[in-house]
Amino acid sequence: MAQEKADESEAAQTQQQPPSPLAQSGADGSSTYFNQQVPIPQDDRQVWFSFRKLWAFTGPGFLMSIAYLDPGNIESDLQSGAKAGFKLLWVLLGSTVIGLLLQRLAARLGVVTGMHLAEVCHQQYHAVSRILIPLWGGVLITIIDTFVFLFLDNYGLRKLETFFGLLITIMAVTFGYEYVMVRPDQGELLKGMFVPRCQGCGPSQMEQAVGIVGAVIMPHNIYLHSALVKSRQIDRSSAKEVKEANKYFFIESTIALFVSFLINVFVVAVFAEAFYGRTNMEVHDVCNATHGLHADLFPFNNETLQVDIYKGGVVLGCFFGPAALYIWAVGILAAGQSSTMTGTYSGQFVMEGFLNLRWSRFSRVLLTRSIAITPTLLVAIFQDVTHLTGMNDFLNVLQSMQLPFALIPILTFTSLSSLMSEFANGLFWKIWGAVMVLLVCCINMYFVVIYVATLNNIWLYVLAAFLSIAYLVFVGYLAWLCLIALGMSCLDVFGRVQNDTMVLIEQRPEFDT
């Protein structure tokens, strides 16, 4: 009897505990993106699929998909088309599918635990690993619009998501217009998309294939998606609601990435059809004949045309008229603005999660944007647009190096039954996830090695060697923890990985302070 009374008393205390602030994020203004949560309509009918519910869950996947449409991806697309024609479309398709399945893991982590990846890392990893992961007019406009966008969510979460849907629509319309105007060969396009080969490809084309994978699968997007799914009201103590949320978020992500894939295909196809195999001299002559203002961008020689985002717009203008140039510019502007915003959110989530900061939104935005925008502003003031393009290449390499810091943790934590309960990865997902993470990380490391080899400076090589040792040791540490989570408990000699009963976020008293 005494034991029953004690149990009843404990249950009553549990029920009287104040709700977790993470379930009511944004009440104090210290949380990013979650001033309010979107309610999910309840349906008494036992139906497998409901468009009403899908609409309620729609939003996070499309914001996540913006990372697949950022200027880095657009540049990778146009270079792929100009260098290899339609031959690498199958790489783009495969990378997008792999990205979708990795995003599925990120969304499941956020839905099941109520925490995003950075918060889980802060809670689960040792303190050392938490510490280690850590022109001019246009740049100034970017600073301003970043702050403006961050405060748009004060007018409603759904309005913010609608705004980004509008930006994606602008990209689809503008790049779709270029696609219709160029009228690429549909047979060659389908062949390049579904036949995995690259006949006649040399080192340049193979490097471009590696670059496509690096541009599509980005580390910050894993953190971002695991956080965005927290914006929906889900009862995480109900396995049925969690399962339903996982299903609808996966459907939404599939639709969003299909749209982003089509937009990327538009760009690849335009440059594959119109500019594959052309020389600088051909483009120079056409630009001169059409009174183009930037014909001097292309050397008067017979080397194969090399394009970036800036030159790509100029080439379109020379061959298809000023309308093509300005429509391209609008599409690139939409890509830049949307990726700036989602990148800002990613930075906020990572800062809050890893450092456990609960600053006001304005303080966090001011710090992170100041750090992020300073190098770009300096390059814009003292250099020219070609140096900004080179800076973009460097950032792609940096993102490739950071990829293990997202993919290894997401596979680790979604495989822990102590964290995910019945929603932990099964044997198939563990094996598939390990193979995909290893493949993607190796491809990206190859991309980094190629970039370092072009530096041609002995001191930079020495510095890269020392940094590589520290980097590989840390990645090895993360991989060791991941292997334990995947089931190799014999490696857990220090008892670092806990795999006991799951504790839901609503039941964690440390979040109720």
244-293, pLDDT tens digit by residue? Answer: 999 999 999 999 999 999 999 999 999 998 888 888 888 888 888 876 66
Q: Does residue 212 contact residue 19 with C-beta atoms inside 8 Å? A: no
Q: Read off the tokens for 167.
A: 């930006």
Render 296-333 in DSSP notation, one character per residue: GGS-SSSSBP---HHHHHHHHHHHH-HHHHHHHHHHHH
Give φ, ψ of 70 to 5 degrees.
-75, 170
Largest interatomic CA distance in the chain:
96
Give φ, ψ of 95 to 5 degrees.
-65, -40
**Amino acid 134: pLDDT:** 40
Q: How far is CA 62 from each of CA 38, 144, 214, 327, rounded to the nearest angstrom?
A: 15, 23, 20, 22
DSSP β-bridge partners for residue 443: none
Q: Can you say whether the dihedral through the CA atoms of 114, 117, 123, 125 is positive or negative?
A: positive
**Amino acid 125: pLDDT:** 75
Hey, is 474 helix, strand or coil? helix
Q: CA-to-CA distance for 450 and 452, rounded, in angstroms?
A: 6
DSSP 195: S
Q: CA-to-CA distance for 45 and 29, rounded, in angstroms?
A: 38
Q: CA-to-CA distance for 16 and 233, rounded, in angstroms?
A: 20
Give φ, ψ of 133 to 5 degrees.
-85, 35
Q: How many CB atoms lie within 10 A of CB 147?
A: 13
**Amino acid 506: pLDDT:** 42
This prediction's pTM: 0.79
Q: CA-to-CA distance for 189 and 369, rounded, in angstroms?
A: 40
| Chain centroid to CA 291 | 40
Q: How many CB atoms lie within 10 A of CB 330?
A: 15
What CATH architecture does domain 33-38+48-278+304-402 belong to?
A: Orthogonal Bundle (1.10)
**Amino acid 503: pLDDT:** 40
Render 28-53 in DSSP notation, one character per residue: TS-SSS-SS-BPPPP--S--S--HHH
**Amino acid 303: pLDDT:** 81
Q: Does residue 262 contact residue 172 with C-beta atoms inside 8 Å? A: yes
Q: Does residue 502 contact residue 416 with C-beta atoms inside 8 Å? A: no
**Amino acid 94: pLDDT:** 92
Q: CA-to-CA distance for 403 and 101, rounded, in angstroms?
A: 15
Q: CA-to-CA distance for 270 and 290, rounded, in angstroms?
A: 20
Please report where in the chains the tokens 């997007």 appear, as a residue. 221
Q: Does residue 148 contact residue 337 with C-beta atoms inside 8 Å? A: no
Q: CA-to-CA distance for 72 and 264, rounded, in angstroms?
A: 11
**Crossing angle for the helix pair 186-194 and 89-113, nearest 10 degrees?**
60
Question: Amino acid identity, residue 75?
Answer: E
- Residue 248's closest CA among 111, 415, 422, 63? 111
Q: Where are the domains of the chain?
A: 33-38+48-278+304-402
**Amino acid 187: pLDDT:** 92
Q: Does residue 443 contact residue 213 with C-beta atoms inside 8 Å? A: yes
Q: Does residue 178 contact residue 74 with C-beta atoms inside 8 Å? A: no
Q: Does residue 25 contact residue 230 with C-beta atoms inside 8 Å? A: yes
Point out the residues of the chain with pLDDT beneath 50: 1-30, 32, 128, 131-142, 500-513
Q: Where are the beta strands (DSSP E) in 147-228?
A: none
